[in-house]
Amino acid sequence: MTINRREFIEGAGLVAGSVAITGALELPVDAAERPATRMLVTPIVNGQLRTIEVEPRTTLLDALREQLRLTGTKKACDRGECGACTVLVNGRRVLSCMSLTVMQNGKRITTIEGLEHEGQLHPLQAAFVEHDGFQCGFCTSGQIMSGVAMMEEARAGWPSAATPDVTRSFTLADLSPREIQERMSGNLCRCACYPNIVAAISAVAKET
């Protein structure tokens, strides 16, 4: 018996549909659909001890935004490429979209909301306003958090790939525009406000 092209396609469609339906009925529930075990994590967020109940796979970014309502930390690329989600963990800058919440038990976490003190902006926050270091503002919180940590790294004497002489101790006074550009290269700005961002950080570095 000869089967034409149209009959073959119709038959193949019926078989594929039957297999899909039968397979869906016989396969066990996918592991991703099962209720995940939840864990209690108690980090110190912006100076306050917080208790968060999360699934083991919950990122720090999602916990901050969705459970603690600290939405100043932005979700942009969600894959560790843009730096918009940067927060400080024990004083070090961390990409919160690439960090699990369950890893933060007992750690000190600072978000953009935790930089101001008694109603006063952090000097770098004020400098971003003065030097017009943002346009859309989506990357700004990550830029500021990274800038704060970067200046502490420089103050601690850490060199960078732009440091001409790594054999001598680095100081905050050595934080040139080129150094700032190199150290802030992990934070991207769609609006291309890089010159103003560098100017804001330079101004604060000179005053501290």
Q: What is the pLDDT of residue 24?
A: 45
Q: Do domains 39-114 and 123-207 have the same CATH topology?
A: no
Question: For residues 163 and 171, what is the distance between their CA atoms, to the nearest angstrom?
Answer: 11
Tell me the CA end-to-end span of the chain in Å, nearest whole number. Answer: 89
| Contacts for 151 with CB less than 8 Å, ≥ 6 apart | 124, 172, 175, 201, 204, 205, 208
pLDDT tens digits for range 65-121: 999 999 999 999 999 999 999 999 999 999 999 999 999 999 999 999 999 988 899
Domain-by-domain residue ranges, the chain?
39-114, 123-207
Q: Which fold has domain 123-207?
A: DNA polymerase; domain 1 (1.10.150)
How is 142-207 classified by DSSP, letter by letter? HHHHHHHHHHHHHHTT---TT-S-TTS---GGG--HHHHHHHTTTS--TT--HHHHHHHHHHHHHH
Domain spanning 39-114, CATH architecture? Roll (3.10)
- Digit-coded pLDDT (tens) for 174-183: 999 999 999 9
